[in-house]
Structure 1
Amino acid sequence: MNAEPSRNPREVVEQVRRMVAGEGVRFADLFAPDGVLRYPFAPPGMPRELAGREEIAAYHGAAAGQRDMFAIEGVDVVVRDTDDPEVVVAEIEHHGRSQATGGPYRFRALGVIRVRDGQIVSYDDYMDPIAMAALLGRTPDLVAALSAA
């Protein structure tokens, strides 16, 4: 299912929130066919850019197992408008229990999202790679990868 053309950027961010919360929204479906997803702070082994809905779907489909590493109890979003009506900045934070550590967690990411005709045309997803590694119980892997680089 593709995003409806009537959705404004704030409505699209709500769909992103629903996706993070596991409410049946497929992330790639929110993108335009030629939409771009970038991870400017990507850790080693993670792509910095995914171009096109199909590439985004393939990557996120393969990474779906990581979702089992944590039990999300809630997702909060703060959306900030910009002077460009197509662009919003979204702070998305989810919290719950990490299966890897057994303890509670909070994880926040910042998205700079451009929406045109109800679909994401660009999404710059700023995640903290150290916090992500801790959430997944992979801090030693991150340290090793950074040491090898």
Structure 2
Amino acid sequence: MTGSQAVASRTPRAVLDRYHRAMLDKSADDLADLYAVDAVHEFPFAAPGFPAHYAGREAVRGGYRAAWGASPFEVVEIRDVVVHVSDDPGTVIAGHVVVVRSAGGDRAAVPGLLIIDVSDGLITRVRDYMDALAVARAAGVAGA
């Protein structure tokens, strides 16, 4: 595959598909490899224990490696994916529901929205709107 073919295979929609695959595989390396070196991953909805953002590919790698390594959940399905058209051809907007399973077998659905900006086949910015209350309820946090 030539360099131009590799970039062409990394359209915003193809990057979204690979992003979801990395989530299913719980692969921080596969996820981080989708990012430009100086990319930013933002979490606009503040959640206890989560940073407001990761700055740079290696921060994404380290942050997700730690988060997924410590998580009691396994992503078993990503469903109800709805991709919204953007005026910017380098941006993909996607709603989805992430279904997770605990070690005890309980399942929970966590809705979310991703806005992913892609340039030259790499993510430059992600705005990750995850339903933090759904995560807290799945984890059994009192009052969530």
Per the normalisation by structure 1, the TM-score is 0.80
1:47 aligns with 2:51: yes
Task: Report how far residue 23 of structure 1 moved.
Answer: 7.2
Task: Report how far residue 132 of structure 1 moved.
Answer: 1.2
Provide, for residues 52-105 of structure 1, a one-character-per-residue CA deviation record: whole Å limited to 9, x for no partner: 0011111111112244x22433212221120111111111322243336x4321
Distance 2:47 2:56 in 1: 21
Distance 2:26 2:59 in 1: 22
Q: How does 1:1-149 map to 2 (within 5 A)?
A: 4-6=6-8, 7-22=10-25, 26-67=30-71, 69-76=72-79, 77-99=81-103, 102-137=105-140, 139-140=141-142
Provide, for residues 97-127 of structure 1, a one-character-per-residue CA deviation record: whole Å limited to 9, x for no partner: 3336x43211121001101111100000001
SS in 2 for 1:21: helix
Q: Among the aligned pairs, what percent are the same residue?
A: 36
Contiguous gaps of at least 5 residues in structure 1: 144-149
Q: Supply the RMSD in Å over aligned alpha carbons.
A: 2.1
SS in 1 for 2:7: coil
Distance 2:14 2:110 in 1: 22
Distance 2:70 2:96 in 1: 18
Distance 1:71 1:53 in 2: 23
| Cα distance change on mapping 1:90 and 1:53 into 2, 3 Å | same
Per the normalisation by structure 2, the TM-score is 0.83
| Cα distance change on mapping 1:38 and 1:19 into 2, 3 Å | same
| Cα distance change on mapping 1:57 and 1:70 into 2, 3 Å | same
Task: Report how far residue 8 of structure 1 moved.
Answer: 0.7
| Cα distance change on mapping 1:97 and 1:23 into 2, 3 Å | closer
